Structure 1
Amino acid sequence: MSESYRDTYVTGLVNARALETQAIQLLSRQVERLENYPEVEAALRRHITESEQQRDRLDGILSALGTSASGVKDLFTGLMGNVAALAHAPMQDEILKNSLANYAFEHFEIASYKSLLTLAELAGDTQGPTALQQSLAEEQRMAQWCEDNLDAIVRKYATLTAQGAKAGV
């Protein structure tokens, strides 16, 4: 592996691992508050499990490259995930804000995994891309779920609000 490509790749892997830690924290805080959206809760719980597996895959790639994740980055991004989730909590339309943020976050993760695949190629890593492709596919499925269910979530929120029911979560 070319050292400069390898270093850039390793940095990307460490950043992606921290991003998965952030996703786990963000989604975990959201599922704690869902009451009226069992379909959203189920999808988020599935994706939390996938995100934990993605983080493990990234650990495996880093280990194969003779390095490991950054505890400082994990701590910081985990904290940011908690803060982001809590920022929406007092909002009447929390479910809408979370749905929009999740949709955007999934696309950020998709871009991250696509970038890692390019970096893996440049660095000459022939083993890591299999795990990266699997994680990419999971992120794409979740992004598609967010897109496919956004209309239903908005409609349910609007209907509950119109009925005077608790609609935000």
Structure 2
Amino acid sequence: MTYEENYHDWLRDAHAMEKQAESMLEKMAGRIEHYPDLKARIEQHIAETRQQLVLLDEVIDRNDVSRSTLKDAMGKLSAFGQAMGGMTAEDEVIKGAISGYVFEHFEVACYTSLIAAAELVGDIEGARVFEQIREQEIAMADWAQTHLPALTEQFLVRSNTPDVEAKK
């Protein structure tokens, strides 16, 4: 494959990844009932993710790259599977927060690679867009890392209190 072919394939992957993130975050936010700070930050990141999709669409269009509905569909299916699997766990909110933290780092790595590829093929505007998106993903990962201890403590206190739901 040429540099451009790899780059274009990775653009499609990034689009599918963001569709997966959007679906996963929406399902998580829709289920959270007792953790308002987490819900608010997830809802903020949903808005960021939707804007990231707009930016990715612009890069894809500017590079005349065909969309991959299959990759987008598989990403959404994967997010649905993650959401369904987490619903049965008694510690759903903690498992979801940990999974979200891991996914953010995956996104950071993908955009780091995309920046290098964009620069190599001469898509300087694409590299700028990916740097902007990567900063949002880093901020979300940092937020998760900072708040995970307090969220864990809140969950443990709720789960140890009779007649109080802790799961979500």
State the TM bucket, normalised to the shorter chain: over 0.9
Identity %: 32
Query: Residues of 2 paired with 1:153 and 1:168: CA distance?
Result: 12
Task: Please say if residues 24 and 80 of structure 2, whose CA atoms lie closer than 8 Å, have aligned partners that are also in contact.
Answer: yes
Task: Please say if residues 24 and 48 of structure 1, whose CA atoms lie closer than 8 Å, have aligned partners that are also in contact.
Answer: yes
Moved more, 122-131 or 136-145: 122-131
The 5 A counterparts of 1:62-141 are: 62-141=60-139
Letter in 2 for 1:147: Q
Report runs of 4+ in structure 1 exceeding 6 Å deviation.
none
User: Could you tell me which of 29, 42, 45 is aligned with 1:44?
Assistant: 42
Query: Residues of 1 paired with 2:48 and 2:42: CA distance?
Result: 10
Q: Secondary structure at the match of 1:127?
A: helix
How far off is 1:121 after superposition?
1.3
Please name the residue that 2:146 is paired with. 148
Number of aligned residue pairs: 167
Q: What does the per-residue CA deviation read over 1:94-113, in whole Å, with 9 as the maximum and x for residues that have no partner? A: 00100110000000000000
User: Could you tell me which of 7, 10, 35 is aligned with 2:5?
Assistant: 7
Please name the residue that 2:165 is paired with. 166
Q: What does the per-residue CA deviation read over 1:11-70, in whole Å, with 9 as the maximum and x for residues that have no partner? A: 111101100000001011111111100111100011011111111111110110112321
Unaligned 5+ segments in structure 2 are: none
Query: Residues of 2 paired with 1:27 and 1:127: CA distance?
Result: 28
How far off is 1:79 after superposition?
1.2
Q: Does 1:23 align with 2:21?
A: yes
Q: What does the per-residue CA deviation read over 1:94-149, in whole Å, with 9 as the maximum and x for residues that have no partner? A: 00100110000000000000000011111121221111111000000000010010
Q: TM-score, normalised by structure 1?
A: 0.96
Query: Residues of 1 paired with 2:56 and 2:97: CA distance?
Result: 26
Query: Residues of 2 paired with 1:67 and 1:8: CA distance?
Result: 11
Q: Does 1:32 align with 2:30?
A: yes
Query: Residues of 2 paired with 1:104 and 1:144: CA distance?
Result: 11
Unaligned 5+ segments in structure 1 are: none
How far off is 1:85 after superposition?
1.2
Q: TM-score, normalised by structure 2?
A: 0.97
Task: Please say if residues 104 and 141 of structure 2, whose CA atoms lie closer than 8 Å, have aligned partners that are also in contact.
Answer: yes
Task: Please say if residues 59 and 69 of structure 1, whose CA atoms lie closer than 8 Å, have aligned partners that are also in contact.
Answer: no
Task: Please say if residues 9 and 120 of structure 1, whose CA atoms lie closer than 8 Å, have aligned partners that are also in contact.
Answer: yes
